[in-house]
Chains A and B, each alone.
Chain A
């Protein structure tokens, strides 16, 4: 039976009873509320004097209660937004900040801090304006009104990357306000007074009011666009409305609690993992679960007294991740139809022509990068430098050349990792960031460099690789019995990745004397990398090339579906395991040298596909060349654009790549395949 058939057959079964979940969530909520309110309430009761009573009631009404309400509202809103986005895009991995709402809101926060004229608007109004603006941009890029789910996902992903790279870049450049924003980036439920909460809550009302009208059409969308249309659902309108409602929910929740979008990813998947699929059941239950989760997490933060460091995001991840992992491992989850790739037709240019053009462009770009900079090195001086007749030029070359070499290598490696993962997970949103490998490697490397400040290159390599491999090991161990089934692997990775990312941020805010430096590393960059780094990276790159060549054909077969591939004699579990291992090695070694550079691994595989290359034999090399091109460009521009200030390459890859990607999407309108 195919995946689709299995999915539908579970749907035919009567729904599992959901009372245990409701009961558990209510118990959690009641317990936390009682625990949290017991103290201020008893103070209020025991208050003797009028002044004492006043301060106690202030404590209750202005601090404790708002914070509880904020947790409940934000958790519920994030969960609802996630549910709606996942239904509208038919992708269980879609998160509420899919359309770049969170990143946009963060930009709004920065603008509010930076532009004095906008101070009075800082807070909810500005967050809304920016968050919804980002969502609108993503919608327009996706083709607006009639956007197919996959285009929506990808355009949103690109927009989100664009905004968050802008934010991180600004943060890295203007260090002063960093601690405050970084703390807020973690999510903070501390509510100074009830007023801000009231404003944000008002914004929640319209999207929630729309929901009852949305759920039934959204449910029909699960059958596919054509089937939904044939039973009379206005598909484009439904999807647009759903996107707007979810974006509004997210914006409000972000304004209340900061970007804890992870809850929106987690809560609906938790409910579905229990075997509930009916959207009318899932939506309220997800909201309840999300509220309970956030409340419990926040309660833990406040209760343990660790409130400065252990932020709500971390606590959420700590509470939610094991839950989801347990459910994934217990194997209660039938696989829904997973969406493969962005399908864009169009004329295919011959592979050799494109590959050659990319390679030539890369060589030219590298040569240019060697020559250009604060000091222009003419070709003659370059020759002199190599032959040792121009020591100054040789010195400059020694700074520029390894950076370019590293940029090219890591770009290619991250791109290859992305292609492999997207094929194995069979989800267009996959990438080393999605399965948590990047976050795992980053966390371990950062921890190591904080513990041993003098850590050398080999040490960093070992740490990154062990972090990435350990993450992969956990993922594989949990999914071994299900033959590394694609969706489960992705969900496990997402859960782990969220946890690791949250821990990494905490680590930076908590321990680092120079948060900006750590943040720059988190964006990824090639600053100050030497030949030793390049030489350390090279063997990994060379060693993975034959493995990639060997895997190209099995990956093609895997695209036919599990049964078809197994029928053709492909050991699918083995191939999946090997491919995951390969992708992990590629991503972690790159992360060890340059930090988690974004965008490359997520979007270059789609760029290769948009250019018309579908077979892995062609898609892999093209994506790798494009990844190298992109990273080298980012390196050169970042070095020279605002000299002497450096813009981290990781921020620029998204800044350069995302607009190009969006432009390609707009230029190649949806084809017949897109609507499947």
Chain B
């Protein structure tokens, strides 16, 4: 697919296949086109060429409602209208399931309560979203996406505004959702270690191209990372989980680490 803003081609002849039921992380330097790729996958970005296939069907052919029932997308910065409560926000997620008129069906209510519970906001359900903390607010938005009962969830930097605890909680929550509900997740992440913790597949992007695509073990290596970010990185193993841990080699640290290793 090709995406262009004006004359500037952001994605040029890119071809991507997302594995069903997996968690894919998109990583890369700022402005490499990863958010654009995510928006294109979500059908929010008009394509200059190519197409997006969702479960074998072209995205453009699906009706908006069909698409919204299959695929949910969460933007990086969300506007929260004042006065909107958590329940009301999550109820919006049922839009594609409801008739234009009429109240909520029993199934709608179940899906809403279920989504709020899944993100652990049951106690906050009737509070205004603007009154929540950053982490709770992000989880409220994820609950809205869950209420869509989608099979694919696209997230743009979901952990950016959160503290460590909320980051860990969110990563865990996403993995649980992936495991228990089989939801395919694609997320843009800046933190490589988070990507390693959550994803089973990582795509490294640069200048609108995918440089490396593979398991966390294969992609999070000094070579591909240097190529992508232009930074010398160290690859360690997490003492508890054996997952890759990436460390940028900050100047003075290099000597020490290399010293101990040598």
| A→B interface (CB under 8 Å) | 1-2, 4-5, 9, 340-341, 343-345, 348, 549-550, 553, 556-557, 559-561, 563-564, 566-571, 609, 612, 614-615, 672-673
Looking across the interface, which residue of chain B has its beta carbon closest to that of A568? B95
Q: Is B83 a contact partner of A567 (Cβ separation < 8 A)?
A: no
Task: Give chain B residues whose Cβ lies under 8 Å from the Cβ of A561.
Answer: 75, 78-79
User: In whole angstroms, how far apart are the Cα atoms of A349 and B65 in the complex?
Assistant: 34
- Nearest Cβ in chain B — how far from A291, in angstroms? 32
Q: Is B83 a contact partner of A614 (Cβ separation < 8 A)?
A: yes
Interface size class of B (residues with CB under 8 A): 35 or more
Q: Is A614 a contact partner of B36 (Cβ separation < 8 A)?
A: no
20 contacts between A and B (CB under 8 A): A1-B75, A2-B76, A343-B130, A345-B82, A345-B83, A556-B92, A560-B92, A561-B75, A564-B75, A564-B78, A566-B64, A567-B42, A567-B44, A569-B65, A609-B83, A612-B83, A614-B81, A615-B84, A673-B82, A673-B130
Indicate with 1 or 0, residue by residue over B35-65, a CB within 8 angstroms of chain A CB atoms: 1100100111000000000000000000011
Task: Give chain B residues whose Cβ lies under 8 Å from the Cβ of A1.
Answer: 35-36, 39, 75-76
The reply to whether the CB of B69 lies closer than 8 angstroms to some CB of chain A is: yes
Task: Give chain B residues whose Cβ lies under 8 Å from the Cβ of A672.
Answer: 130
Task: Give chain B residues whose Cβ lies under 8 Å from the Cβ of A571.
Answer: 64
User: In whole angstroms, how far apart are the Cα atoms of A343 and B130 in the complex?
Assistant: 11
User: In whole angstroms, how far apart are the Cα atoms of A645 and B140 in the complex?
Assistant: 58
- Nearest Cβ in chain B — how far from A65, in angstroms? 46
User: In whole angstroms, how far apart are the Cα atoms of A564 and B141 in the complex?
Assistant: 10
Task: Give chain A residues whose Cβ lies under 8 Å from the Cβ of B89.
Answer: 560
Most chain A CB inside 10 Å of its own CB: which residue of B67, B68, B77, B89: B77
With beta carbons under 8 angstroms apart, the residue of A341, A348, A550, A563 that contacts B75 is A563
Q: Is B82 a contact partner of A341 (Cβ separation < 8 A)?
A: yes
Q: Is B83 a contact partner of A563 (Cβ separation < 8 A)?
A: no
User: In whole angstroms, how far apart are the Cα atoms of A556 and B83 in the complex?
Assistant: 12
With beta carbons under 8 angstroms apart, the residue of A559, A568, A609 that contacts B148 is A568
Task: Give chain A residues whose Cβ lies under 8 Å from the Cβ of B65.
Answer: 569
User: In whole angstroms, how far apart are the Cα atoms of A674 and B25 in the complex?
Assistant: 36
Contacts A1-B35, A343-B83, A564-B78 given: A569-B92 contact, CB under 8 Å?
Answer: no
Task: Give chain B residues whose Cβ lies under 8 Å from the Cβ of A549.
Answer: 101
User: In whole angstroms, how far apart are the Cα atoms of A609 and B84 in the complex?
Assistant: 12
The reply to whether the CB of B244 lies closer than 8 angstroms to some CB of chain A is: no
Contacts A343-B83, A561-B79 given: A569-B64 contact, CB under 8 Å?
Answer: yes
Looking across the interface, which residue of chain A has its beta carbon closest to that of B36? A1
Q: Is B78 a contact partner of A568 (Cβ separation < 8 A)?
A: no
Q: Is A550 a contact partner of B100 (Cβ separation < 8 A)?
A: yes
With beta carbons under 8 angstroms apart, the residue of B68, B80, B84 that contacts A567 is B68
User: In whole angstroms, how far apart are the Cα atoms of A4 and B76 in the complex?
Assistant: 10
What is the predominant secondary structure among interface residues of chain A facing chain B? loop
Task: Give chain A residues whose Cβ lies under 8 Å from the Cβ of B68.
Answer: 567-569
With beta carbons under 8 angstroms apart, the residue of A341, A560, A568, A609 that contacts B96 is A568
User: In whole angstroms, how far apart are the Cα atoms of A550 and B44 in the complex?
Assistant: 24
Looking across the interface, which residue of chain B has its beta carbon closest to that of A613? B83
The reply to whether the CB of B72 lies closer than 8 angstroms to some CB of chain A is: yes
Other A-B contacts than A340-B81, A550-B101, A563-B75, 16 sampled, CB-CB below 8 A, are A1-B35, A4-B77, A5-B77, A341-B82, A550-B100, A553-B100, A560-B79, A563-B73, A566-B43, A567-B42, A569-B64, A569-B68, A569-B95, A570-B64, A614-B83, A615-B88
Q: Is B36 a contact partner of A557 (Cβ separation < 8 A)?
A: no
Q: Is B78 a contact partner of A569 (Cβ separation < 8 A)?
A: no
User: In whole angstroms, how far apart are the Cα atoms of A174 and B169 in the complex?
Assistant: 71
User: In whole angstroms, how far apart are the Cα atoms of A603 and B97 in the complex?
Assistant: 35
Q: Is A5 a contact partner of B101 (Cβ separation < 8 A)?
A: no
- Nearest Cβ in chain B — how far from A173, in angstroms? 41
Most chain A CB inside 10 Å of its own CB: which residue of B69, B75, B92: B75
Task: Give chain A residues whose Cβ lies under 8 Å from the Cβ of B72.
Answer: 567
Most chain B CB inside 10 Å of its own CB: which residue of A560, A568, A673: A568
Name the 8 nearest CB pairs between A and B, nearest first.
Answer: A569-B68, A614-B83, A343-B82, A569-B96, A559-B81, A567-B73, A561-B79, A569-B64
Looking across the interface, which residue of chain A has its beta carbon closest to that of B82? A343
CB neighbors of A among B135-173 (8 A): 144-145, 148
The reply to whether the CB of B208 lies closer than 8 angstroms to some CB of chain A is: no
Task: Give chain B residues whose Cβ lies under 8 Å from the Cβ of A563.
Answer: 39, 44, 73, 75
User: In whole angstroms, how far apart are the Cα atoms of A559 and B95 in the complex?
Assistant: 14
Looking across the interface, which residue of chain A has its beta carbon closest to that of B92? A557
- Nearest Cβ in chain B — how far from A397, in angstroms? 38
Looking across the interface, which residue of chain B has its beta carbon closest to that of A337? B79
Looking across the interface, which residue of chain A has its beta carbon closest to that of B100? A550
Most chain A CB inside 10 Å of its own CB: which residue of B35, B76, B83, B84: B83
User: In whole angstroms, how far apart are the Cα atoms of A612 and B84 in the complex?
Assistant: 11
User: In whole angstroms, how far apart are the Cα atoms of A568 and B31 in the complex?
Assistant: 26
Task: Give chain A residues whose Cβ lies under 8 Å from the Cβ of B42.
Answer: 567
Q: Is A569 a contact partner of B84 (Cβ separation < 8 A)?
A: no
Task: Give chain A residues whose Cβ lies under 8 Å from the Cβ of B83.
Answer: 343, 345, 348, 609, 612, 614-615
- Nearest Cβ in chain B — how far from A430, in angstroms? 15
Indicate with 1 or 0, residue by residue over B7-37, a CB within 8 angstroms of chain A CB atoms: 0000000000000000000000001000110
- Nearest Cβ in chain B — how far from A10, in angstroms? 10
User: In whole angstroms, how far apart are the Cα atoms of A553 and B74 in the complex?
Assistant: 20
Task: Give chain B residues whose Cβ lies under 8 Å from the Cβ of A4.
Answer: 77
User: In whole angstroms, how far apart are the Cα atoms of A318 and B7 in the complex?
Assistant: 33
User: In whole angstroms, how far apart are the Cα atoms of A549 and B83 in the complex?
Assistant: 20
With beta carbons under 8 angstroms apart, the residue of A550, A553, A614 that contacts B84 is A614
